[in-house]
Structure 1
Amino acid sequence: MDWVRTINDAIEYMEQNLTNEVTLADIAKSVNLSAFHFQRAFTLLTGMTPAEYLRKRRLSQAGSELAKGSEKVIDIALKYGYDSPESFTKAFTRFQGVSPAQAKKGEPIQFMSRYTVRITIEGGSIMEYKIEKWESMDLLVHAKDFNAETSEKEIPAFWNEYFANKEYSKVPSYLGVCAQNKTNGNVFKYGIGCKASDVKGVPEGFEIIHVPEYDWAIFKCVGPSPDAIQAMWERIYKEWLPVAEYELIPDVDLENYLPGDPASQDYVSEICIPVKKKN
């Protein structure tokens, strides 16, 4: 998959639908990705979520049209998907720093232009990774379904809840497991746990996720957790995927938290993603 072209195609779809109601699932479907996969790729490559991009572009366009002075606020509000002038005014003022009425009178406004994603060559830092073939395996996890649009805040809370409830006393908690293809739409499954072979039986509140045999790209992350993991995810999408001879398989990916002090500058963790060679 050409990630740069895919994200640019998604941006084109969003630009064509600034005045229409579109969901994350709609945008992802337009480029043949799962909602989860698209949300993560878009956010890592652009620095904002698809929802943020749409909101800022709509409010930018709305500002430009209001600045011309001929359109009514209520007409612009409805055009860009707001139910009332009040909700539009609140969002517009938060983004622009001035009210719609002030924009109509000529107050300066902000404008965020359309994004275009490109590959850039930077630095010379090395990404340490390896490709390994793993046999099929079962993972034992305490899992929950998450919405792709809200998971960024909800998953850290899920980890806090896991430790607060002392679930770690039942099962080692060295894996963060994201099962992208187990559910449809905007929802995916995320679990905390270990290999099923590490524990006898399935404790209450846990379940088995089966993972087929795959080739895996394993990326070494060095530094405090979760910052090092998050930084490596960004590098994978920005630096590795656009030029690698491999592409992602949209199934289960893993974050492997190795023994050690997670707050240490030399703490080592891993990101493991199933891959296949590009055709």
Structure 2
Amino acid sequence: MSRLSPQLNRINSLLAFIHQNIEQSMSVHDLAAQSCWSRWQLQRIFQELTNKNLAKYVREQKLSRAAEQLLDGKMRVTDIALQYGFNSEVSFSRAFKQHFGLAPGAYKRRGDRQGISAPMVLMDNPRSQTQRMIEVRIESRPAFKVYGVAGQIDNLYTPQADFKLKVPSLWRSFHQLYPMQSEGLTGVVDTLNIHASGKLNYLAGSQQLSEASEQLQCWNVPQQLYAIVSHTGLIQDLAATIDWFIHQWLPESEYQGVDGYELECYPENYQPQSPSATMEYFLPIQK
């Protein structure tokens, strides 16, 4: 691991304190006492390094852990509210609905993990020379279809892997067929049906198309629970983000990876060679 800046190291330690004591009541004043900064300094530096408001982050973590316990179905709403430092079930339900859009009971009945934020962690990735705080979302997505151009690629860990050449080639083929299609762009990596050679099937396409053709295949992506990480930077550095996601974040999380369809989701007008471009990678998981 490379040397962290003093600020990043201090914020990383503060996050560890927050996560270890998430059931306790904690104010910005309490958290400032754990750092070397005043309340104003801590809030400014936390916002700068995480792009998050400190008080809002603590509340989101409390509500996300509470949502997990609701779905586990072993505790009453009142007990969960008190466990995470809310004064009453009423105040907890109000905060829960504001964050998730549903009251605790309705969220539990729906049964899907939506809007849950895993604890923020430090990405210290020597492959991409990246050091930043990163937050992973946990979401269940319904089944959907992707229409696109398919081909075979080497997996991430094949020596002299060809995916950095094959994947852009498949996207060029797709855009030649649909030059104006910029919405719903999705790359799908099939880790269920691995070839004897170790190669994977990859589909470059869109969720917004509705018809297959001689050039396009239709893949049915089933309902799945995902861990979702954002990648900011050049698209050729995505492999380093995925490597960190699988080898560092996943083993330390509360989740287990499963075979399925990994997704690359690109926003409209995505610029793959822009250092500020951001897309999301979806990793199939189970609790």
- Normalised to the residue count of structure 2, the TM-score between the two structures is 0.47
Structure with bigger RCO (C-alpha 8 Å, 6+ apart): 1
Larger Rg, first or second structure (1 or 2): 1
